[in-house]
Amino acid sequence: MARILLVVGAAGSRGGRRPAPDAWRAVPETARPILRELVLHGPQSRTALARSLGLSPGSLTRLTKPLVEAGLVVERGAVPHPVSGRPTRPLEVVADDLHFVGVTLTSSHVYGVLTNLRADVVARESAPLADLAPETVIAQIGEVAERLSARGRQPVAIGLGMGGNARTRAPVGEGELIDSGLLGWEQVPVSRMASERLGIPCTVRNDVTALAYSHLWSKQARGLTDFAMVTVGDGLGYALFLGGRAVRLTEAAIGDFGHQILTPDGPMCPAGHCGCAGAYLTKSSLMMTAAQGMRRFPTYSEVLELAGAGDRVCARAVQRAAWALGVLIANVVNNTGVRTLVLAGEAIDVARVARPELERGLAARHRNPEDIELTVQAHDFHDWARGAAVVAIRRHISDH
Ligand SMILES: [Zn+2]
């Protein structure tokens, strides 16, 4: 039986000495890996840093000195070494004076967070979308960002996570113009419009890839390099990380992922495929399946509640969806070799409510399901927004 872990996002922040506003620009290329390592993995001793970066202790001391003098890195109080017991003074990046906005879009809302350099969330906001016109949405992103930036916490960059158009043969954010199936957008210069509205650089990324980055930048994922994320909601999402890097997936490839055929005689999806993953799993598919037995159209949460209460029709619909999710996970593992799967999204509860069926689907298509580690994330769209902030932070660190 695969292990299933429950994860709830966590955040915190600490005070630090204030670096000069342009200190990042002055950092020499050779010293940037030290900053990246401290941003990604938190405070570390000089010995640990030198080991992970393959530097001699002398080189590390030389490269670190200007970072400390510029106020970008501070030495924390002495702590005993876990093995030798000798006191060490861990180095820590000063993260609390640099702020980033992360925003994610659904078809009805904009969700935003403000984070520090380590992607600790310090504020969150959301707003219902007045309409889906690009100008309206960008203006509302600007309003959310302004509310997040209150009390002098001016952000230096914004990341925006959004789904693309499954017909588009490019990843979202690659190139200037964005097509969004969910919002009905075609060839919208999202990044430029948001940058102009906010006066800071904007990086656009596929929202599931952004959420996967948020997972990668969490304590639970320490040391994780190879994993896949599958999200279930209005549609299916997919992201794959190998060697700590996101595999480049076009929007068309993500669309194909959600429409892969699991059983040739299964239910039909809106695109006309019989037995594709989406036909079993998406919110509307689950509601449609339950509606056929109930002779009325239930809400998604109603289907899950009734299934939990033992209603035969709803339980059957949820079980079928969970079984399909198990098969889908097995396909990912069989085809990529990754053993760690993160499940997320607003309709991922089928993985909890009907776990035995998920296990059955997994075991039907994979030889060693006990080797697979499944993490089911508690759903919160602000986690998606945090992922967009991570995208902006990565860009900021790389560009400066
Ligand atoms: Zn389909």
Domain membership of residue 23 (yes or no) is: no
CA angle 45, 50, 54 (to 5 degrees): 155
Kindly state the percentage of the chain with pLDDT values over 70: 94
Domain assignment present for residue 110? The answer is yes
Average pLDDT value for residue range 286-291: 94
Number of separate domains in the chain = 3
Q: What is the pLDDT of residues 360-383, one digit of tens each?
A: 999 999 999 999 999 999 999 999
Q: What would the pLDDT profile of 315-363 be if each residue is shown by its tens digit?
A: 999 999 999 999 999 999 999 999 999 999 999 999 999 999 999 999 9
| Whether residue 229 sits in one domain with residue 122 | no
Are 138 and 182 contained in the same domain?
A: yes
1 within domain boundaries:
no
Of 3-17, 68-82, 144-158, the range with the lowest mean pLDDT is: 3-17
**Under 8 Å between Cβ of 277 and 322:** no
User: pLDDT tens digit string along 113-166?
Assistant: 999 999 999 999 999 999 999 999 999 999 999 999 987 889 999 999 999 988
CB 215 within 8 A of CB 221: yes
Say how many C-beta atoms besides its own lie within 10 A of residue 84's C-beta: 9
| Centre of ligand 1 from the C-alpha of residue 270, in Å | 7
| 194 and 235 together in one domain | no
Same domain, 163 and 119: yes
The letter for the amino acid at 14 is R
**pLDDT above 90: residue 32:** no
| The pLDDT value given to residue 19 | 65
pLDDT recorded at residue 37: 86
361 C-alpha vs ligand 1 centroid, how far in Å? 19
Tell me whether residue 78 is exposed, middle or buried, using C-beta atoms within 10 angstroms of its C-beta: 0 to 12, 13 to 18, 19 or more. exposed
pLDDT value of residue 97: 83
Residues 77 and 105 in one domain: no
Cα 286 to averaged position of ligand 1 atoms, centre (Å): 14
CA 83, 84, 85, 86 dihedral sign is negative
Same domain, residue pair 206 and 276: no
Boundary-marking domain end, from 43, 71, 93: 93
Residue 51's CATH number:
1.10.10.10
Residue where a domain stops, chosen among 93, 128, 161: 93
| Domain coverage including residue 65 | 9-15+34-93
What is the Cα–Cα distance from 395 to 390, expressed in whole angstroms?
9
Ligand 1 centroid to Cα of residue 268, in Å, is: 7
Joined together, the tokens standing for residue 308 give 């939990």
Q: From the CA of 314, how far away is ligand 1's center (Å)?
A: 22
Judgement on whether residues 105 and 39 belong to the same structural domain of the protein: no
* Domain stop point among 93, 114, 144: 93
- What local confidence, expressed as pLDDT, does residue 24 receive? 73
Q: Are residues 44 and 187 in the same domain?
A: no
**What is the CA(318)–ligand 1 centre distance, in A?**
18
Ligand 1 center–CA 237 separation, angstroms:
13
CA-angle at 238, arms to 161 and 277, nearest 5°: 130
pLDDT of residue 20: 63
